[in-house]
Amino acid sequence: MTRTYILLVRRDLGARSLNDLQNRDIIVLTSGVGWIGRLWMDVTTLRHGHTASEHFYGKITRAESGSRAVLPVFFGQSDACVVTKRSFETLA
């Protein structure tokens, strides 16, 4: 089974690239797949030439459900989140 991860960012941040997320708070979905979302985030950050994600982003928080990851971004309580595409589509 293939999982696709997506990075959602608050629209009002005006982020155009990963560089714009440096020192920003991010929530990572961990339900069902453990820290695979975090691993995806680490690989993506490193591929863009940055240090490990714990040194690049601000606060990294775990979320046990898609809604606990996405809704804080939607309501401006967090800067970004990493969720599965399926979780996002279910919420949308």
- Pairwise CA distance, residues 87 & 92, whole Å: 9
pLDDT on residue 37: 83
pLDDT on residue 36: 84
Q: Which CATH number describes the domain made up of 5-91?
A: 3.40.190.10
The residue ranges of every structural domain in the chain are: 5-91
Distant-in-sequence contacts of 53-56, Cβ < 8 A, 24+ apart: 56/21, 56/22, 56/23
pLDDT on residue 35: 77
Is residue 50 within 8 Å of residue 56, measured between CB atoms?
Answer: yes
- The residue whose two tokens read 């030439």 is 49
Phi, psi of 72 (to 5 degrees): -60, -30
pLDDT averaged over 10-residue windows placed end to end, the chain, 92 residues: 87 90 93 77 90 90 93 96 92 90
